[in-house]
Amino acid sequence: MTKSSQEQEDEQGYSVDENTYFHPAAGLNGLIITASSPIPALDAMLGKRITNIPPSAIPAKRKSFTSINTHIQAPAKVNRPLQICDSNVPMPSEQIQQDVYSMTCKDQYPLTSSQKARRIMPTQGSLNNRSTQQNHPAQHNKQSTFQASSISANLSIPASTPSSGRIIQAPPIQNNWVKKPTGNNQTSIRSRDPDLIKTLSTEQLAIYDAVVRLGKNIYLTGTAGTGKSVVLKAIINGLQTKYGIDKVAVTASTGLAACHIGGVTVHSEFGIGLGDKDVDYYVKTIGKQGKNFSKIVGLRVLVIDEISMIDGRLFDKISQIAQGLRKSDAAFGGIQLVLCGDFYQLPPINRNSRFVNYAFEADCWDSAIQETMTLTKAFRQTDQHFTDILNELKRGVVSDQTLKELQRLERPLTIHHGIEPTELYPLRKELDTANYGKLSALSGEPIVYKSTDSGYPGLLKHCIAPAEVTLKVNAQVMLTKNLTSTLVNGSRGVVSGFRPDEQNKLYPVVTFTNGEKLMISQYSFTFDSHGYAVATRLQIPLILAWALSIHKSQGQTIEYLRIDLRNSFDYGHAYVALSRVRSLDHLQVLNFSKAVVKANDKVIRFYDQVDRKKRQRVDANAK
């Protein structure tokens, strides 16, 4: 049904008066519309401040752009001096920063200075300039389109490259390319965390033994929150100890997932770029690359995390490349495979096809995978009722009782210490608008933390730690690394101030949901491949947390969550989003309906077949 002009204005925004523009998106509140080059059609909008509070006295029939009203004007922001915390706020020790997170933590590094963010409306040409976007990460894909009448305006969020203020730059990275020791003295996960295997449950230990002791090719799966990442890290630990760190390829389908486990993308591991060329090309090309060729031929084990996002045709192609290089007809040239993931979660993305093709649809899947091993005990959710709801949703089922319960969760959440719930968005532009719009609306001086990078930029652009992090007092933040037993990746907090160190360089002081206050300095985020740190980023382990994308949340536990499912558009989105929290008490759900829960029929049939095979094995053993 065609929307009326008034309905379109309600959704897309309209001018209130010569100073104010109304738009319903809360993340845009307080922004000023500007342009970096003349756009005549938008002249009437430039210089206006956006408000998300609808004018109460506007007549039912409004006039866009030409309406002269003085009912509402967003208040001007008042800058205040930077808040400096007292000196008794604890700071993580060097021992904590080096040792707590065994996969990627390295040394701590001091900070340097900061800057103030500005708002820019990019030209169409600048939006297509990839180098510009890489140099200014907070601008990358952060423009949002808003329509008034027939005119379309790109309103950008504040850029991360400030025009004034202090910048805190990470120091140079040293010894990034030094090969780690191998053999008995190797710096493996086990040697950094020898008790890792002791944390596994009986169910998890059975999977560990199947891989490490028996050498099986397995697909490790389980509902969200069942501890797949914990088991995988223990398995990697055991395999590196058994074969040597340079014989185990630790990879993932995406750069973000690779960062979490301290590996690289599977594309990078095999040196295939986008993977869009034929197998013969890659076999010939890699065969001439002595180092890469020797690495693949010498592999004992290939680990791939978040396998659900690997296209089945790519899975076949990688297997055929390995067969050609290793001169073996066995799947993947005889390399032991350890795959981990949940096909009910986010599906593969193939820009060359509109059809979803999962890894289990690959021709080589049955010959490559000896056994699918499923984790059944949920650790993230301790409420069995919540677990039952999630088990419904993953299969695309919503009972009437579940519908009522989730619709009741529209009530607001109550959190202490000034911390707000994180919002999940399916679209990147919504995420950026919310985060940087709300940051800009805060008064006070911004502090910009710039990373120091070394190694392959293609990996670093997917790092969980952004190249620039802009913070202010009262900014909502989330940890991206494990710091202590109580402050871990996903812990939520708010910046309560900034504290200078002994060299008068500022660090953010964060108050977390449990009441702890901690001063946060820089850590290293490393992508390792066969004992080499192929890419490293030094950055503070914080990201803005008013909003997070569903893709970036996969694999994480979020303490308090608000999720608007109105724009959920892909298989697994609702399931992934709702399964990020531990309890229904920490979850606020907006616009939930049966229509937003989607599961692919092919995935349902795959897991039904897995269950049948498992029952057949149990029956056979019983006889």
Tell me the residue type at 359.
Answer: A
The rounded Cα 74 to chain-centroid distance in angstroms is 33
What is residue 193's predicted lDDT score, i.e. its pLDDT? 58
User: What confidence score (pLDDT) does residue 498 get?
Assistant: 94
Q: Which residues of the chain have pLDDT under 50?
A: 1-8, 36-38, 56-78, 93-164, 176-192
> Is the distance from CB of 138 to CB of 159 less than 8 angstroms?
yes
* Whether the Cβ atoms of residue 136 and residue 127 lie closer than 8 Å to each other: no
**What are residue 233's DSSP bridge partners?**
none
Q: Is the separation of the CB atoms in 568 and 499 below 8 Å?
A: no
Burial of 385 (0-12, 13-18, 19+ CB in 10 A): exposed
H or E element at residue 339: strand 336-340
d(C-alpha 245, C-alpha 250), whole Å:
10
Count CB neighbours of 147 within 10 A.
14
Joined together, the tokens standing for residue 427 give 């679209």
- Given a contact cutoff of 8 angstroms between Cβ atoms, the answer to whether 344 and 395 are in contact is yes
The answer to whether 412 touches 588, Cβ cutoff 8 Å, is: yes
| SS3 letters across 290-311 | HHHHHHHHCCCEEEEECHHHCC
Task: Give the C-alpha separation, 566 to 481, whole Å.
Answer: 31
Identify the pLDDT of residue 532.
75
Spatial distance between the Cα atoms of 383 and 147, rounded to a whole number of angstroms: 44
Pair of tokens at residue 610:
């897995």
DSSP 489: T
Tokens 């845009």, residue located: 28
Integer Cα distance of 599 and 607 in angstroms:
12
**What is the spatial distance between Cα 174 and Cα 246, in angstroms, rounded to a whole number?**
21
Reading the block at residue 277, the tokens are 């060329």
Compute the Cα dihedral for 416, 138, 151, 37 and give only its sign. positive
Q: Is 491 exposed, middle or buried (0-12, 13-18, 19+ CB in 10 A)?
A: buried
Q: What is the pLDDT of residue 300?
A: 96
Contact 304, 252 (CB under 8 A): yes
Report pLDDT for 94.
Answer: 38
Residue 296 is predicted with a pLDDT of 94
The amino acid sitting at 474 is N
| DSSP three-state, residue 536 | strand
Predicted confidence at residue 54, as pLDDT, reads 66
Q: In which residue ranges of the chain is CATH 3.40.50.300 found?
A: 202-375
Contact between residue 295 and residue 336 where contact means Cβ atoms under 8 Å apart: no
Q: Are 509 and 89 in contact (CB under 8 A)?
A: yes
- Cα(378)–Cα(363) distance, integer angstroms: 32
HSE of 396, CA atoms in CB hemisphere, 13 A? 14
Question: C-alpha 2: how far from its chain's center?
Answer: 37
pTM of the shown model: 0.68
Q: Is 113 exposed, middle or buried (0-12, 13-18, 19+ CB in 10 A)?
A: middle
CA 607/CA 358 separation, integer angstroms: 13
- Angstrom distances, CA of residue 295 to CA of 175, 217, 547: 22, 20, 40
Tell the CATH superfamily of the 202-375 domain.
P-loop containing nucleotide triphosphate hydrolases (3.40.50.300)
C-alpha neighbours within 13 Å on the C-beta side of residue 576: 29
Token code pair at residue 161: 């490259």
pLDDT confidence of residue 32 = 66
In angstroms, the CA 388 to CA 247 distance is 40
Phi and psi based region of residue 406 (left: phi greater than 0; alpha: psi -120 to 50; beta: remaining): alpha
User: Where do we find the tokens 């010569």?
Assistant: 18
